[in-house]
Amino acid sequence: MHEIIAKARLSPNVTRIEARAPRIAEIRQPGQFVIVHRAEEAERIPLTIADGDPARGTISLVIQAVGKSTRELVALEPGQFIQSIAGPLGRPTDLISSGKALCVGGGVGTAVIHPIAQGLRRAGASVVSIIGGRAREWVIFEEELRRLGEVIVCTDDGSYGRKGFVTDAARDCLAVGGIDVVYAVGPVPMMRAVAALTRPLKVRTIVSLNPVMVDGTGMCGGCRVGVGEEVKFACVDGPEFDGHAVDFELLMDRLSTYRAQEQEANTCSESGCRIGLG
């Protein structure tokens, strides 16, 4: 059992939960994730470790409430417990130790960019972060990222920072030059667009993928993705891969596999019926 120590709403549907997990807090590395199992019959949810405090024995998880299981998870309050948190899982981020890194975060993907930017600064690299949201209230982790380097904020409606998409700002940064590596995390179309920008420039680009995961050990095969000519499992081979080699079309297709079941779960959650889903 893992006690929830603190909880804060970051945007209209994004919540940050700080949970007690001392062993994970001590050994976790940038890019790694955990699988959260709220209760006995609940769904297993993969979440990136957005931050950690080994001294307090806590980790921070950022959850976008988009379905039944994530809404139930963010409904928990400090003092309540999560049944299990398994991790850290996945391969740590391949960090550069010198030069300049461009970190591009879209929406809740900004929470995944944060530990990467932390690791880059600790390793000795210079960091520029581009983050975005639909409007000002959807921008997250700006303050935390400003402690690590320059931050460019974009909003779709221009209510805060620069008007436009994070890819527009990324294009401008790349045009100036001097970027040694790009880390991009966010919606699949955004990561695909960033990879398209960097490919002709031959700038190494790393993306973090979010396919459907179940066990987190590579045994179920649910998180398989196409990278180059190979099939990879995001939970053990990733979740980060070469953005120029990822088959984004296959990834988008696989992400829609259980859309009908997700819609049914949402409907039953609102009406109070029970179905065979967590």
Any idea where the domains of the chain sit in the sequence? 2-89, 100-255
CATH topology of domain 2-89: Elongation Factor Tu (Ef-tu); domain 3 (2.40.30)
Helical (H) or strand (E) element with 154 = strand 150-155
**What was the pLDDT predicted at 252?**
84
**What was the pLDDT predicted at 278?**
39
Residue 56, Ramachandran bin (φ over 0: left; ψ between -120 and 50: alpha; else beta) = alpha
The distance in angstroms from the start CA to the end CA of the chain is 18
Q: In what order do the strands lie in the sheet with 240-242?
A: 162-163, 150-155, 126-133, 100-106, 181-185, 204-208, 240-242
The per-residue pLDDT for range 186-234, each reduced to its tens digit, is: 999 999 999 999 999 999 999 999 877 777 777 777 788 899 989 998 8
**What was the pLDDT predicted at 207?**
96
Question: How far is the C-alpha of 245 from the C-alpha of 54, rounded, in Å?
Answer: 35
* Residue given tokens 């991009």 in the structure block: 184
- Classified as helix, coil or strand, 78 is coil
- 41: its two tokens: 């019959």
Residue 207: partners with Cβ closer than 8 Å, 6 or more residues away: 183, 184, 185, 191, 194, 195, 240, 241, 243, 246
**What was the pLDDT predicted at 43?**
86
**What was the pLDDT predicted at 167?**
95
Burial class (CB in 10 A: 0-12, 13-18, 19+), 246: buried
Q: Residue ranges of the chain with pLDDT lower than 70?
A: 256-278
Q: What's the distance, CA 182 to chain centroid?
A: 15
Q: What's the distance, CA 36 to chain centroid?
A: 14
Helix axes 188-198, 166-176, angle to 10 degrees: 20
CATH topology of domain 100-255: Rossmann fold (3.40.50)
